[in-house]
Structure 1
């Protein structure tokens, strides 16, 4: 009989899952049932949690969004989520070889089940998750994703780039103010138009974004910038806060194009950094750095370049439909 077994968790297991995630070295809010239930309710995602058990004890697992397309089954990173990381309960031992085998066996149990049940699987690991040999040894494809993250301890205006300091000061001279807002409808057009300018479809409707903000009201903050005395906003940022690990995640950042640039978006981001620094948070995660223009902007705020491993596994049938649909088979 195998030492480790796997099964998909029921809602009765959710408390145990959250306890596991809280203990995991790869903890993040996007793998908690608080976030996952929000996605299930608002976006109608079919969220599944695969648990790994040693006897009857839950010791590891992973989360994914189940999609069925053209007769194939896909386990993907849930939408609007930074991660769907591998998780395990740490093991107290002085023997590093035993710890390595323990982690490896949990990851292999996850891999075997997902490979058997799905035509295509994607796992986007938290940046603390570095031992992925259990997947690599099974010929999973590895991609490195880069994120920009601002360390908030001791951050001040002098540490960001000279060009961003000038933009911040320009915006302040123009009497641009930033504030927290409760009604996302006031800035939704800015969000939608920002995606349109990039030839992208906005990932959320107004109702969906409002639903996430309402259900996650203790963890989602919307801040926006406007000229003092003006009701129209120039820029908006939607943030997910995680007090457990002292992190803030930039979920959406959008702005009105201006010529010349008023500096509103730079001021909005900088004052957001200041705000959470003063609240005692440790890190401000600016998100991915895959697009050069966005990467250049994010790099100017004294940010560190962080890498995480995304692993995927596909079967021949999926590859056929991927080429046939030009990648649309994985789109929601």
Structure 2
């Protein structure tokens, strides 16, 4: 096997990276330079995309956000707020043999791991996209691993046959209340609903308004998703989902709800009508990113989804582990 060269990509090479994301499995919107650029610009992150080259061809890589803590610790993370996964990618294997496919994965990930370990990071955290199953090139060399989950709703199935009694009751309530759904790509409406959710918990929204404005702009320019809303008979939007397109799927990235209308079943109506809409457009499944929080997982289980694992790996220096332990101890003493 030819030697793999790993280096940071220049911005002029980001188009080449995006072509790899488009072809690689499981490349996602969250891997693209445009999405990563929004995170970098709005959240003031330092972004680096490392590429793996074989004979000059980009065959893999990994984006990382870099953070310096008080000049003492350097932290690298492949994700950031509301970007649940990104992580390493590799070029699709041309071989149909499982042994050859595994060998090619390891031939790319091993040099990537070695390169990252030489960059002087005190902590490296990589979250792989669903579908990337082999993280052994990291765990075999002392990296810790964690399993996370998402839900896939199979759009080839009959949604009505998979509904729980609770969801059926909510749909009935929503229909009796005259609620309707439609596509409406309006960032102000979405941010207003999102703010209401967090205001009730006396919290600020997880991301600034500018982040959502940039995402909506990207949606409109690239046709990579849409906002679906539930409205009252008077036309007031009371619930919304931001859906992003992936390979053969949609990703229910984030949702918002006016708490005063939760009892009318607006969220159940959104999911149900989204299912029908996406099925009519030949999408294969909905990736509902709600499996890692108990109350969200309980709700979406009413649609009988498939539970899908995905993985993260972490490597920490002794200095970082000590600092983390001291912080936790101090935090406990304060509270």
Same fold (TM over 0.5): yes
How big is the shift at 1:46?
2.4
Q: Which secondary structure does the structure 2 equivalent of 1:251 belong to?
A: strand
How big is the shift at 1:197?
4.5
Once residues 329 and 127 of structure 2 are traced to their aligned partners in structure 1, the CA distance between those partners, rounded to angstroms, is 18
- Cα distance change on mapping 1:187 and 1:52 into 2, 3 Å: closer
Once residues 62 and 45 of structure 1 are traced to their aligned partners in structure 2, the CA distance between those partners, rounded to angstroms, is 16
Counterpart residue number, 1:143:
146
Once residues 266 and 310 of structure 2 are traced to their aligned partners in structure 1, the CA distance between those partners, rounded to angstroms, is 31
Counterpart residue number, 1:75:
76
How big is the shift at 1:305?
0.4
Counterpart residue number, 2:243:
239
Once residues 147 and 294 of structure 1 are traced to their aligned partners in structure 2, the CA distance between those partners, rounded to angstroms, is 11
Once residues 144 and 258 of structure 1 are traced to their aligned partners in structure 2, the CA distance between those partners, rounded to angstroms, is 35
- Cα distance change on mapping 1:241 and 1:23 into 2, 3 Å: closer
Q: Aligned match of 1:219 in 218, 221, 224?
A: 224
How big is the shift at 1:27?
2.0
In terms of fraction of residues, the more helix-rich structure is 2
Q: Which secondary structure does the structure 2 equivalent of 1:182 belong to?
A: coil
- Cα distance change on mapping 1:208 and 1:34 into 2, 3 Å: closer
How big is the shift at 1:160?
1.4
Counterpart residue number, 1:154:
157
Point out the more displaced range, 304-313 or 271-280: 271-280
TM-score (norm 1): 0.89
Structure 2: where are the runs of 5+ without partners?
A: 331-335
Alignment check: 8 A CA contact 1:184 1:209 kept? yes
How big is the shift at 1:97?
3.9
- Cα distance change on mapping 1:93 and 1:257 into 2, 3 Å: closer
- Cα distance change on mapping 1:327 and 1:154 into 2, 3 Å: farther
1:32-77 C-alpha deviation (Å, 9 max, x unpaired): 2232233334434322111112232222111122222222222211
Q: Aligned match of 1:295 in 294, 297, 318?
A: 297
Alignment check: 8 A CA contact 1:178 1:225 kept? yes
Point out the more displaced range, 132-141 or 50-59: 50-59
Point out the more displaced range, 138-147 or 26-35: 26-35
Alignment check: 8 A CA contact 1:153 1:277 kept? yes
Once residues 277 and 97 of structure 2 are traced to their aligned partners in structure 1, the CA distance between those partners, rounded to angstroms, is 43
| Match runs of 1:6-45 below 5 Å | 6-45=6-45
- Cα distance change on mapping 1:69 and 1:151 into 2, 3 Å: same
Counterpart residue number, 1:250:
252
- Aligned: 1:229 with 2:261: no
Alignment check: 8 A CA contact 1:64 1:78 kept? no
Aligned residues: 324
Once residues 146 and 96 of structure 1 are traced to their aligned partners in structure 2, the CA distance between those partners, rounded to angstroms, is 25
Runs of 4+ in structure 1 off by over 6 angstroms are none
